[in-house]
Amino acid sequence: MTRIRVESLSVGYDRHPAVVSLSGVFEPASLTAVVGPNGSGKSTLLKALAGHCKPLAGRIDLGGLKPSEIAYLPQAHGLDLKFPLTLEDLVSFGFIGQRGLFGGFAKVDRERLHGLMAQVGLEGLERRPIGSVSGGQLQRALFARVMAQDAKLVLLDEPFNGIDARAAEDLAQLMARWPEQGRTVIAVLHDLDLVRRLCPGSLVMARQAVAWGPTDQAISPEQLTRARKLAESWNVSDEPPADVVQHTEHV
């Protein structure tokens, strides 16, 4: 069980912070939705947790998790869809982290692979090339890959964007069950109905934490309006350099 803690965390690009002085804890085996207006630093927070960009300030305590114990599904997958690869091949990449590069196809993996394909509703499509399936089917396969990784921390960045409603609902139900399996899940989500239905905890962001706690309290109309107003104030000044950091630290 791993507790993820961030302390006075600032993350950004070219010294422009997208996340400013964020402090808090993601409890073990919890499911936290990260919501907030565009440009509020949600994706950047996930990237930082995944180890893809270094904090400008503050720190992240992953409780000793190794990179192979973190599954990160970015907003835009980096898949080359023309690559001669089947859905099954794609899902099997999830085993690499545990098996190492030498990991041939052990029998156990084969069986797990079939189980995973069935769980995400891709039975019978195992041999389909990745370039010939719908966005929803591809996302189902990517979810199966996340499950194959058997990660302790799962980071999902807008995983239900641009896919059909049926796939979105199926995958959201799967995601909601991961904490029962001991996984900590942090998901950037837009659909507030879905957040209220399935996510016990929420973090409302506008570069800093506007609200962080049980979803019914965190996602209130007042907090969301506050987040939007904060975000608008950032956008007006457009590129807020270092003085903004100081400003928020005083808030």
Partner 1 sequence: MSGLLFSTHLGDQMTLMALKSAAAGAVALAFGGAPLGVLMIARRLSLMGDALSHGILPGVAIAFIFAGRDPVALTVGALTAGLIVAGLSSLLARTGKLPDDAAFAIFYLSALALGVLLLGKMGKADEMEALLFGSTQALDASGLVLAGAAASATLIGLALFLRGVLGEGADPVFMRTLGARFGLSHLLLMLLLALNLVAGFRAFGALMTVALMTIPAAAARFWAKGYGGQAAWAVALSAVSGLIGLFLAALWGAEPGALMTVCAALLFGVSALVGTNGGLLQTRLAKTHLRGLKA
CB nearer to partner 1: give 85 or 174.
85
Q: Helices in 36-188 by DSSP H: which ranges?
A: 42-50, 87-92, 96-99, 107-119, 135-149, 165-177
157: left (phi over 0), alpha (psi -120 to 50) or beta: beta
| CA 224/CA 233 separation, integer angstroms | 14
| CA 55/CA 167 separation, integer angstroms | 34
CB nearer to partner 1: give 44 or 208.
44
Rounded to the nearest whole angstrom, what is the least distance from the CB of residue 50 to partner 1 in the complex?
A: 6
- Kindly state the helix (H) or strand (E) to which residue 225 belongs, with its residue range: helix 221-236
CB nearer to partner 1: give 103 or 162.
103
Determine the 3-state secondary structure of 22 from DSSP: strand
Rounded to the nearest whole angstrom, what is the least distance from the CB of residue 72 to partner 1 in the complex?
A: 5
CB nearer to partner 1: give 51 or 241.
51
Binding footprint of partner 1 on the chain (CB under 8 A): 50-52, 66-68, 70, 72, 74, 77-80, 82-86, 89-90, 92-93, 95-97, 99, 101-104, 127, 129-130, 132, 145
Rounded to the nearest whole angstrom, what is the least distance from the CB of residue 170 to partner 1 in the complex?
A: 22
CB nearer to partner 1: give 72 or 160.
72
Half-sphere exposure of 127 (CA within 13 A, CB side): 1
Rounded to the nearest whole angstrom, what is the least distance from the CB of residue 242 to partner 1 in the complex?
A: 27
Rounded to the nearest whole angstrom, what is the least distance from the CB of residue 56 to partner 1 in the complex?
A: 20
Q: Are 168 and 17 in contact (CB under 8 A)?
A: no
